[in-house]
Chains A and B, each alone.
Chain A
């Protein structure tokens, strides 16, 4: 790695494996992470959509929240219905500030009377300090810094994991199970950040490489780096914290109103509720939308978005090339007058006006494991096209 300014980069337990696989390592959120393996981002992306990809996401922040009514305590900081989570059920939610801005996005899973949370790598220290400061003395935070996190994503993920743990393919989307994989106790959730069916596996750091190698030995599984992770989540219309959402965007502006539980809307008892509920009623001034450039030129983050008359109405927050679509894709915020599907826009790519259109998200349909024969969805479970998957950087 080239010399970096600031503190030395940390490494995940899978660092030696990445090296032996020939990964190109980059600095990311304070870690040395694989951006791609020798096959390249395009092939890794397409392989994940076709079969199964293994991602090292051990840089992310894992913790258990324990103590008297941790769920009620967490609800003071997020708009999601956490108290209503059934056993082993999980939910995508948002840490909010008092202005309704987003401090981070996270996954919260109910495990008995504890909550398992996974937060973004770049914000984890700040997040855990925020939780510590606001959850109250009755709740304590057990940071799981000695655990690795692997993601196995793609249409073959369930069949692969079923070979290691019988019945795991029966798990429901957005649920958790404690199980043994290759002789190691793991916490498995059926979730992810690719728009595909898949799992995230939390396990002790010491056993991570052995499990990763075991999974990579399956014919459908290839290692996937952060480059394809980003293009996969972009095609799936999923937000990247610090880019598509941050402290200056509210859940309504970010088109994440679906993360606000019904009871929570009625009670209005989360940070920034007055601002957020007013936006919910009156509509926000701007909104995150999907954008398809008409031509071949990708529009990267920061690209100005103009209305047809030439007025600047926002900018691209994530943009690049969608390998599954073989076309450029972008997300960005636009004024409401230009937010409707089909609206023609102009993207100022390096000063050149490029035509584009607002499109529905996701760009590539989600293929989560939502089919429950003879079993209606449970109350509070997202049963629409809402992006209930992960949210990670």
Chain B
């Protein structure tokens, strides 16, 4: 697996072969609080970079999750239906949202690397 790349909307994406694994960052889950529901797209749906791809709900509110890359959804994390709290406990691991089969992996190049993202988060405070 490659090192993760990050969006300004606090999603992460990393390559696992030709699949791009997508989730939300630790900062995002900490801001949301306890996740109680995750709505994931159907497999086969084409998602568009920067457009909503999923919805994550805390006790308090629903928030959109935006696609960090464009292409077809190949897999979704069904385990989140039974245990959405995985998004809080392991956002970069078991709390992943979906996988996209990526024809053009250079899409990741325009996203922030970990150091740039940490700077970005620090500047929010």
Chain A residues in the interface with B (C-beta under 8 A): 35-36, 40-43, 45, 227-228, 230-231, 296-298, 300, 320-321, 323, 328, 350
Contact = CB atoms under 8 A, between A and B. Distances in A.
A298 B61 CA distance: 9
Nearest to A327: B36
A300 B33 contact: no
Nearest to B85: A42
A320 B33 CA distance: 14
B83 to A, nearest CB: 11
A45 B59 contact: yes
Please give me the 10 A-B residue pairs with the lowest Cβ-Cβ distance, nearest first.
A42-B34, A321-B36, A41-B59, A321-B59, A227-B60, A40-B33, A40-B34, A296-B37, A298-B57, A231-B59
Interface of B: 33-34, 36-37, 39, 55, 57-62, 81
Contacts of A297: 37, 39, 57
Contacts of B60: 35, 41, 227, 230, 320
A350 B59 contact: no
A35 B33 CA distance: 11
A42 B58 CA distance: 9
A36 B39 CA distance: 24
Given A41-B58, A321-B37, A328-B37, 17 more contacts: A36-B33, A40-B33, A41-B34, A41-B59, A42-B34, A42-B36, A42-B59, A227-B59, A228-B59, A296-B37, A297-B57, A298-B37, A298-B57, A300-B61, A321-B36, A321-B58, A350-B39
B33 A350 contact: no
Contacts of B61: 300
Contacts of A320: 59-60
A232 to B, nearest CB: 11
B81 A41 contact: no
A230 B58 CA distance: 13
Chain A interface secondary structure, helix, strand, loop or mixed? mixed
30 contacts: A36-B33, A40-B33, A40-B34, A41-B58, A41-B60, A42-B33, A42-B59, A43-B34, A45-B59, A227-B33, A227-B59, A227-B60, A230-B60, A231-B59, A296-B81, A297-B37, A298-B37, A298-B57, A298-B62, A300-B61, A300-B62, A320-B59, A320-B60, A321-B37, A321-B57, A321-B58, A321-B59, A350-B39, A350-B55, A350-B62
Contacts of B33: 36, 40-42, 227
A367 to B, nearest CB: 21
Contacts of A40: 33-34
A222 to B, nearest CB: 16
B85 to A, nearest CB: 9
Contacts of B39: 297, 350
A323 B37 contact: no
Contacts of A231: 59
B48 to A, nearest CB: 17
Contacts of A230: 60
A298 B36 contact: yes
Residue of B36, B37, B55, B57 with most chain A CB atoms under a 10 A cut-off: B36
Nearest to A26: B60
Nearest to A42: B34
A298 B36 CA distance: 9
Contacts of A45: 59
Contacts of B57: 297-298, 321
Contacts of A328: 36-37
Contacts of B58: 41, 321
A296 B84 CA distance: 10
A21 to B, nearest CB: 16
Contacts of A41: 33-34, 58-60
A297 B36 CA distance: 9
A323 B59 contact: yes
Nearest to A2: B124
A350 B81 CA distance: 18
Contacts of B55: 350
A70 B61 CA distance: 42
A312 B60 CA distance: 25
Nearest to B36: A321
Nearest to A322: B59
Contacts of A43: 34
A40 B35 CA distance: 11
A323 B59 CA distance: 8
Nearest to B59: A41
A76 B61 CA distance: 39
